Amino acid sequence: MKKIAVFPGSFDPVTKGHESIIKRAAPLFDQIYIAIGTNTEKDSFFPIKKRLLWLKKVFADYPTIIITEYEGLTIDFCKKVGAKYILRGLRTSADFEFERSIGQINKKMYPEIETVFLLTTPEYTALNSSIVRDILRHGGNPSKFVPDEVDF
Ligand code: ADP
């Protein structure tokens, strides 16, 4: 059976932290859906089309990676595409507490699902999309924190 994973997130915008986790996970799965949850679309900084396009460019050379969007519960999207794994990155203990709760609830709601975590490499531990947005809001240049394909 094919090992299919979903990496859910906002990717607002995609950072080098996301890129690193997903590229390291690519050899572990037959297929990875990078899926932008659109429930909170109204609050997003970058429009969904742009976020999807950047992800498509970043992972263009990865035939097993599919870029898409979804609405509703992540586990329902996983069922729809036949994914038995949710992939997430872990930066800090705060991430762990947040992820533990979601992961355990998801498992309760969909017992076949397993959440798989990869530890962030040290150079990306402090990085998140909201810092990148803050730098932009204040007129700075965050290009060293995002993949080369991201053009603001
Ligand atoms: P959301 O905040 O909507 O959950 P994000 O796009 O911020 O989505 O993050 C999605 C996933 O990417 C999460 O598992 C998060 O831990 C991981 N992630 C975010 N930034 C980094 C980073 N710098 N290094 C590793 N993983 C990261």
Domain ranges of the chain: 4-145
- What's the average model confidence in pLDDT over 21-38? 98
| Ligand 1 pocket, CB under 6 A | 9-11, 15, 17-18, 21, 88-89, 91, 95, 120, 124, 127-129
Residue tagged 């859910």 (tokens): 8
Mean pLDDT of the chain: 96
Q: In this structure, what token pair is assigned to residue 69?
A: 């969007």
Can you tell me which atom of ligand 1 is nearest the CA of 130?
Answer: 7
Question: CB count, 10 Å around CB of 113?
Answer: 19
CATH class of 4-145: alpha beta
Q: What is the pLDDT of residues 90-111, one digit of tens each?
A: 999 999 999 999 999 999 999 9
Q: Round to whole Å and give the CA distance between 25 and 32.
A: 9
pTM (whole model) above 0.75: yes
Confidence of residue 43 (pLDDT cuts 50, 70, 90): confident
Q: Check: CB of residue 4 under 8 Å from CB of residue 85.
A: yes
Q: Round to whole Å and give the CA distance between 135 and 138.
A: 5
Confidence of residue 40 (pLDDT cuts 50, 70, 90): low
Residue tagged 């700075």 (tokens): 140
Name the residue with the closest Cα to ligand 1, atom 26.
Answer: 89
Q: Which of 54, 91, 98 to mutate to test the pocket of ligand 1 (most atoms within 8 A of CB)?
A: 91
Q: What is the pLDDT of residues 113-128, one digit of tens each?
A: 999 999 999 999 999 9
Q: Round to whole Å and give the CA distance between 131 and 142.
A: 9
